[in-house]
């Protein structure tokens, strides 16, 4: 759309400096408030008068206009008197002087900004248009959401009269235009899957609105649902022909053709990379810029703008940019490039020096000043001896000149300060491995590694397009192995360019070995390891120890608390050490309280640990403390969510304390924030002597298997633990690992594998006398048997689980088994028994004080209540479970709850509601839950779409569901075939 949808024929009210005490609403029932206290606006006709005056926004309405607004062409005989009465009553309700009489009519005066919700909505729409024009789609969407949220049902609801009716139509049309505009931006930002659910409901509510249909087609197509997108067009064409006798508009027809042709232009839009701003700056004394300089557009622009501020008409006293980053990240290359670009803005001189700050002997400031003064034309005899006098003369010589000074490779701010020009029109650009936080007035820039596309472009420039084009994937592997570090990429590319017999794949294979990678990344006098050595050599002993030991831990980053466990130090001391490493650029601050290594720096840190951290028990102790920290903390989170579970009594002992939480939300936040690091820790310890603690940590973190976000990684780590346990011959670890995998496979819809793992878990739990797997393995096997319609087996397994849980006094486990037994009763025609068992489980959950597991109980009860026809009660239980799953980040169960709500809505003959709920479920279950669950949701969605007349889309959904069931050899296929049968009433032919 070209611009924001406008409300026709409306003017903005005047503003007021004082905050309004009165507020009015017309985007819903007509209401008024004074300081948040509701005011009585009187009869419907009196509200109609107030609405007519509010919508004129300060303009006077004549008595005749108001009579026409309230009654149209057939006013009562005493209409004028009635208008005067209504006005008099309103004047008493509102503040004095607000409703005034003038020119034979009435007007509202003195209402400030924000008084009327419609005016607020208009202002927000204007703000959204400006944000959209500026390219800030996120802000534009947020503002539009706020504007749309101002509607409280139908505008001018319950207000009589022809004027109110016309305004209702106008405001509803505007609301829909704003909604379409916001949805259009949603699709521009790639939120197509989320938009499908909303658009499904909107097209059901406004079936003849073609723009909504067009957006739905586009959202479905971008969600990979081409058949459904085309079915929307077929439904629309049929509906328009039947209702209006017309064809779809050209835009809709064109979209259909583009979908049929799989037009690449319909793909999800992506934001273009920012183009570097070119500032013509050319210093004379700078080193030569590299001819293959690549990327860094945002940094070039940022630094160039800072330099330009010193040379502009309103130049500051001095512009200083301090560029910091890890060795090899390209600080000097970028600084030289930017300085060359800034050449014309500093015609009076360009100074450069390598301050050798990373070496053993950094340059002395007075020596550098002597060199600078000579370059500026000062005779040797005029150069004073002391640092202070040389610095003063240096600033005097620069006075009135426009000079750029590039101070490369600085050691610290103390070395830099005397070398800064102090006059207007001059600028300094500083590079250092240390962040110059104590350099007053400096513009600090942290240089990160290259973006993947920039890294590949640099590699291609050096190697040559022809060699890279045929092995693009291998080239991507190379730059990824280089950690996107420019120096490493340049070395790797130079080695390949010098060896014509090598392919890119050969180089990628050499770099794939992490233990050899740093040795491979050297060419001539360039070496990544040597660059890191310079920084490591300047660390204090405590910093060096922290650097070495933290590098041992796998995982994308590490929290401050986990790092304190690794180092065996108090948190405050650990933070001081880590922040000092961040300042040296050997460690990165990933977020407040979180730290990470660049991949190559981590490899170097590990090499240093193997070389310098003696004896080896120091390294082993650091990793053992980290495992203890994660296990102690995760176990605490587990029992906080499951009061009454006896897991803590069955875990391997730990010596390192973990974090403790009293707030369940904070505990859940910790678990999901630490998921990747925690799972990496399990994998790292799976093959060692800590196997028992590793499997216990994985079991304690079993909520990750149900989140959807971490499920796949959780399953992979579980397999690694099982393999290690089989190799070690540890029956207890094998039993728990088999149980973990059974649980994970059941969630992802791989029921045969889940049953096999659960059967082994049951057998091994007996051999190991393990109460943990002894209860949970048969519980999982019972769940799988339900899914496979083996109800006698399910009841037997769940009976075993119930006995094991009760023997172990595991109350949450007992409630879980009862909930699952409820499902067996449902499936075997005993719905009343199912309700009783579900209520018994829910009672246990409430008794022990469980939060999101309580939602599991409500879910089970909702299913049982639905089966006995108590649809309202079922919907109430499911609706109360849904926000708990959402807050607990249980995406799988959030999606399954929406699916069950859709089933209940369909049974209650509310198909439009069912379709919207099923669409939301489908979006949430993308990539999790397995194909069988997806087939179930598609079946319900198809049935709902048939009921609301969207038979084309229904056929597409049901066809996909049938394909899934046939592939899995599921009995549900027969039901879907019947729904797709031409003989089935209301189904597509």
Q: Is residue 696, in this structure, part of any structural domain at all?
A: yes
Looking at the predicted structure, is the pLDDT value of residue 984 above 80? no
In this structure, the answer to whether residues 647 and 699 fall within a common structural domain is: yes
Residues 463, 506: Cα–Cα separation, whole Å = 14
Average pLDDT over residues 93-113: 82
- Look at residue 677 in the predicted model and tell me its pLDDT: 95
Average pLDDT over residues 793-809: 96
For 400-409, write each residue's pLDDT tens digit.
Answer: 788 889 999 8
- Residue 710, φ and ψ in degrees, nearest 5: -110, 5
CA distances to 127, 268, 293, 513 from 233, in Å: 34, 20, 50, 53
**Where residue 275 falls among pLDDT bands split at 50, 70, 90?**
very low
Better-scored residue on pLDDT, 901 or 615: 901
- Look at residue 910 in the predicted model and tell me its pLDDT: 95
Residues 796, 124: Cα–Cα separation, whole Å = 62
- Look at residue 850 in the predicted model and tell me its pLDDT: 72
- Look at residue 4 in the predicted model and tell me its pLDDT: 52
Would you say the C-alpha torsion 302, 303, 304, 305 has a positive or negative sign? positive
Q: Where are the alpha helices (DSSP H) in 521-663?
A: 528-536, 541-550, 560-567, 571-583, 599-612, 617-641
Tokens 């659910």 found at: 197
Which burial class, exposed, middle or buried, applies to 310 when counting CB atoms under 10 A from its CB (0-12, 13-18, 19+)?
A: buried
Residues 363, 302: Cα–Cα separation, whole Å = 28
Cβ proximity of 649 and 687 under 8 Å: no
**Where residue 525 falls among pLDDT bands split at 50, 70, 90?**
low
CA nearest to 59, candidates 107, 122, 9 = 107
For 687-740, write each residue's pLDDT tens digit.
Answer: 777 999 999 999 999 988 876 667 889 999 999 999 999 999 999 999 999 999
In this structure, the answer to whether residues 787 and 857 fall within a common structural domain is: no
Most confident of 229-233, 709-713, 940-944: 940-944
- Look at residue 7 in the predicted model and tell me its pLDDT: 53
Three-class HEC string of 38-72: EECCCCHHHHHHHHHHHCCCCCCEEHHHHHHHHHC
In this structure, the answer to whether residues 478 and 563 fall within a common structural domain is: no
Residues 535, 416: Cα–Cα separation, whole Å = 18
DSSP 208: T
**Where residue 841 falls among pLDDT bands split at 50, 70, 90?**
very high
Average pLDDT over residues 425-453: 86
Better-scored residue on pLDDT, 113 or 694: 694
Better-scored residue on pLDDT, 450 or 944: 944
Looking at the predicted structure, is the pLDDT value of residue 29 above 60? yes
Better-scored residue on pLDDT, 611 or 268: 611
Q: Which residues contact 341 (CB under 8 A, 6 or more apart)?
A: 278, 279, 280, 281, 282, 300, 304
- Look at residue 913 in the predicted model and tell me its pLDDT: 95
- Look at residue 271 in the predicted model and tell me its pLDDT: 45
Q: Is residue 405, in this structure, part of any structural domain at all?
A: yes
b/e map of 132-151 (b: 16 or more CB within 10 Å)?
beeeebeebbbbbeebbebb
Average pLDDT over residues 121-144: 87
Q: Is residue 961, in this structure, part of any structural domain at all?
A: no
Instruction: Report how far Cα 512 is from the mean position of its chain's Cα atoms.
Output: 30
CA distances to 105, 178, 385 from 292, in Å: 76, 47, 43
Residues 584, 544: Cα–Cα separation, whole Å = 12
For 744-764, write each residue's pLDDT tens digit.
Answer: 999 888 999 999 999 999 999
Strands ordered across the beta sheet of 594-596: 558-559, 594-596, 588-591
Average pLDDT over residues 579-585: 88
Of the three residues 809, 841, 869, the one that is the final residue of a domain is 809
Looking at the predicted structure, is the pLDDT value of residue 282 above 70? no
- Look at residue 188 in the predicted model and tell me its pLDDT: 87
The answer to which of 56-70, 350-364, 662-676 has the lowest mean pLDDT is 350-364
Q: Is residue 279, in this structure, part of any structural domain at all?
A: no
For 851-869, write each residue's pLDDT tens digit.
Answer: 767 888 899 899 999 988 8
**Where residue 296 falls among pLDDT bands split at 50, 70, 90?**
confident
CATH code for the domain in which residue 310 is found: 3.40.50.300
Strand partners, 78: none
Q: Which residues contact 599 (CB under 8 A, 6 or more apart)?
A: 483
**Where residue 313 falls among pLDDT bands split at 50, 70, 90?**
very low
Gap between the terminal Cα atoms of the chain: 37
Average pLDDT over residues 128-137: 83
In this structure, the answer to whether residues 643 and 708 fall within a common structural domain is: yes
CA nearest to 896, candidates 864, 866, 852, 936 = 936
CATH code for the domain in which residue 551 is found: 1.10.10.10
Tokens standing for residue 682: 């399990």
Q: What's the mean per-residue pLDDT of the chain?
A: 87
CATH code for the domain in which residue 781 is found: 1.25.40.10
Angle between helices 44-54 and 63-71 (to 10 degrees): 130
In this structure, the answer to whether residues 430 and 310 fall within a common structural domain is: yes
**Where residue 809 falls among pLDDT bands split at 50, 70, 90?**
very high
Q: Of all residues in the chain, what percent carry a pLDDT higher than 90? A: 47
For 468-492, write each residue's pLDDT tens digit.
Answer: 888 889 999 999 998 888 888 888 8
Q: Is residue 684, in this structure, part of any structural domain at all?
A: yes
- Look at residue 397 in the predicted model and tell me its pLDDT: 84
Residues 857, 821: Cα–Cα separation, whole Å = 12
Domain limits at 756?
732-809
DSSP 851: S
In this structure, the answer to whether residues 337 and 437 fall within a common structural domain is: yes
In this structure, the answer to whether residues 625 and 636 fall within a common structural domain is: yes
- Look at residue 982 in the predicted model and tell me its pLDDT: 59
Residues 255, 266: Cα–Cα separation, whole Å = 9
In this structure, the answer to whether residues 341 and 371 fall within a common structural domain is: yes
In this structure, the answer to whether residues 722 and 740 fall within a common structural domain is: no
Does the pTM surpass 0.85? The reply is no
Looking at the predicted structure, is the pLDDT value of residue 114 above 90? no
Q: Is residue 124, in this structure, part of any structural domain at all?
A: no
- Look at residue 46 in the predicted model and tell me its pLDDT: 93
Residues 31, 47: Cα–Cα separation, whole Å = 8
Of the three residues 446, 469, 499, the one that is the final residue of a domain is 446
Better-scored residue on pLDDT, 547 or 397: 547
Of the three residues 613, 633, 655, the one that is the final residue of a domain is 613
Q: How many domains does the chain have?
A: 6
In this structure, the answer to whether residues 350 and 420 fall within a common structural domain is: yes
For 182-207, write each residue's pLDDT tens digit.
Answer: 999 988 888 888 888 899 999 999 99
In this structure, the answer to whether residues 307 and 439 fall within a common structural domain is: yes
Q: Is residue 922, in this structure, part of any structural domain at all?
A: no
Q: Is residue 895, in this structure, part of any structural domain at all?
A: no
Is cis: bond before 615, omega within 30 of 0?
Answer: yes
Strand partners, 157: 29
Which burial class, exposed, middle or buried, applies to 769 when counting CB atoms under 10 A from its CB (0-12, 13-18, 19+)?
A: exposed
For 628-687, write each residue's pLDDT tens digit.
Answer: 999 999 999 999 888 888 898 999 999 989 999 988 889 989 999 999 999 999 999 987
Residues 429, 304: Cα–Cα separation, whole Å = 10
In this structure, the answer to whether residues 360 and 433 fall within a common structural domain is: yes
């Amino acid at each position: 759309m070209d611009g924001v949808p406008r409300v026709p024929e409306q003017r903005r009210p005047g503003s007021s400096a004082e905050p309004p005490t009165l507020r009015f609403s017309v985007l819903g029932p007509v209401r008024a408030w004074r300081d948040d206290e509701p005011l009585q606006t009187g009869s419907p006709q009196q509200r109609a008068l107030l609405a007519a005056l509010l919508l004129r926004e300060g303009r006077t309405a004549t008595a005749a206009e108001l009579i026409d607004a309230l009654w149209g062409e057939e006013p009562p005989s005493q209409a004028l008197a009635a208008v005067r009465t209504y006005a008099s009553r309103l004047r008493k309700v509102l503040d004095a002087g607000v409703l005034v009489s003038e020119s034979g009519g009435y007007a509202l005066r003195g209402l400030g900004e924000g008084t009327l919700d419609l005016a607020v909505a208009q202002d927000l729409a204007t703000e959204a248009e400006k944000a959209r024009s500026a390219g800030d789609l996120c802000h534009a969407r947020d503002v539009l959401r706020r504007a749309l949220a101002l509607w409280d049902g139908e505008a001018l609801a319950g207000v009589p009269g022809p004027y109110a009716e016309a305004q209702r139509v106008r405001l509803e049309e505007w609301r829909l235009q704003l909604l379409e505009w916001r949805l259009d931006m949603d699709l521009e930002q790639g939120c197509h899957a989320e938009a499908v659910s909303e658009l499904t409901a909107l097209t059901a509510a406004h079936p003849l609105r073609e723009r909504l249909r067009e957006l739905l087609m586009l959202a479905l197509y971008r969600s990979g649902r081409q058949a459904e997108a085309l079915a929307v067009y077929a439904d629309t064409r049929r509906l328009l022909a039947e209702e209006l006798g017309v064809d779809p508009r050209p835009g809709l027809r064109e979209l259909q053709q583009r979908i049929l042709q799989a037009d690449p232009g319909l793909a999800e839009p992506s934001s273009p990379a920012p183009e570097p701003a070119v500032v013509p700056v050319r210093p004379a004394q700078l080193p030569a810029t590299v001819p293959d300089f690549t990327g860094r557009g945002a940094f070039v622009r940022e630094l160039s703008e800072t330099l330009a501020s010193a040379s502009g008409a309103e130049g500051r006293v001095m512009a200083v940019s301090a560029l910091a980053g890890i060795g090899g990240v390209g600080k000097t290359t970028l600084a030289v490039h930017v300085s060359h670009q800034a050449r014309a803005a500093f015609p009076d001189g360009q100074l450069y020096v390598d301050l050798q700050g990373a070496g053993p002997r950094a340059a002395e400031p007075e020596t550098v000043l002597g060199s600078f003064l000579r370059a500026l034309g000062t005779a040797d005899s005029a150069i004073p001896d002391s640092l202070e006098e040389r610095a003063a003369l240096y600033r005097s010589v620069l006075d009135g000149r426009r000079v750029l000074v590039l101070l490369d490779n600085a050691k610290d701010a103390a070395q830099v300060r005397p070398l800064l020009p102090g006059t207007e029109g001059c600028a300094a650009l500083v590079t250092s491995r240390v962040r110059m936080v104590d350099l007053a007035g400096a513009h600090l820039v942290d240089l990160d590694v290259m973006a993947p596309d920039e890294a590949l472009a640099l590699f291609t420039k050096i190697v040559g397009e022809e060699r890279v084009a045929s092995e693009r994937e291998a080239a991507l592997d190379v730059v990824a192995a280089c950690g996107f570090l420019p120096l490493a990429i340049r070395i790797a590319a130079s080695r390949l360019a010098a060896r014509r017999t090598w392919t890119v794949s050969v180089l990628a294979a050499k770099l794939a070995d992490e233990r050899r990678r740093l040795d491979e990344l050297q060419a001539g006098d360039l070496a990544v390891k040597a660059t890191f050595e310079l920084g490591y050599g300047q660390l204090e002993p405590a910093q060096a120890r922290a650097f070495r030991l933290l590098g041992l831990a796998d995982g994308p980053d590490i929290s401050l608390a986990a790092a304190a466990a690794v180092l065996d130090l108090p948190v405050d001391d650990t933070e001081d050490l880590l922040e000092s490493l961040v300042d040296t650029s050997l460690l990165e601050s990933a977020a407040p309280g979180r730290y990470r290594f660049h991949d190559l720096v981590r490899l170097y840190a590990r090499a240093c640990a193997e070389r310098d951290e003696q004896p080896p028990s120091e390294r082993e102790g650091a990793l053992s403390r980290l495992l203890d920290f994660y296990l102690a903390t995760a176990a605490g989170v587990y029992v906080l969510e499951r009061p009454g579970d006896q897991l803590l009594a069955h875990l391997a002992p730990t010596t390192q304390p973990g974090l403790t939480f009293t707030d369940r939300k904070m505990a859940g936040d910790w678990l999901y924030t630490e998921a990747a690091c925690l799972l990496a820790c399990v994998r790292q310890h799976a093959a060692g002597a800590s196997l028992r603690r590793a499997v216990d940590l994985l079991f304690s973190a079993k909520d990750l298997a149900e989140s959807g976000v971490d499920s796949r990684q959780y399953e992979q780590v579980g397999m690694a633990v099982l393999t290690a346990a089989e190799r070690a011959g540890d029956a207890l670890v094998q039993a728990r690992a088999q149980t973990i995998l059974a649980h994970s496979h059941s969630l992802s819809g791989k029921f045969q594998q889940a049953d096999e793992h659960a059967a082994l878990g049951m057998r091994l739990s007996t051999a190991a006398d393990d109460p943990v797997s002894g209860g949970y393995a048969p519980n999982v096997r019972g769940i799988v048997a339900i899914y496979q319609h083996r109800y006698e087996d399910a009841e037997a397994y769940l009976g075993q689980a119930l006995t094991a849980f009760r023997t172990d006094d595991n109350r949450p486990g007992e409630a879980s088994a009862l909930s699952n037994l409820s499902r067996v009763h449902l499936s075997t025609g005993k719905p009343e028994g199912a309700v009783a068992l579900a209520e018994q489980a829910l009672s246990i959950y409430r008794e022990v004080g469980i939060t999101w597991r309580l939602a599991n109980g409500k879910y089970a009860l909702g299913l049982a209540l639905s089966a006995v026809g108590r649809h309202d009660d079922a919907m109430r239980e499911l609706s109360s479970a849904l926000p708990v799953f959402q807050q607990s980040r249980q995406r799988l169960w959030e999606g399954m709850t929406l699916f069950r709500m859709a089933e209940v809505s369909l049974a209650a003959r509310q198909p439009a509601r069912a379709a919207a709920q099923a669409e939301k479920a489908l979006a949430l279950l993308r990539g999790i839950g397995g194909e069988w669950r997806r087939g179930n949701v598609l079946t319900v969605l198809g049935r709902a779409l048939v009921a609301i007349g969207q038979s084309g889309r229904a056929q597409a959904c049901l066809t996909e569901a049938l394909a899934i069931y046939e592939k899995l050899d599921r009995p549900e296929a027969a039901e879907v075939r019947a729904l797709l049968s031409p003989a089935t009433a209301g189904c597509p032919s």
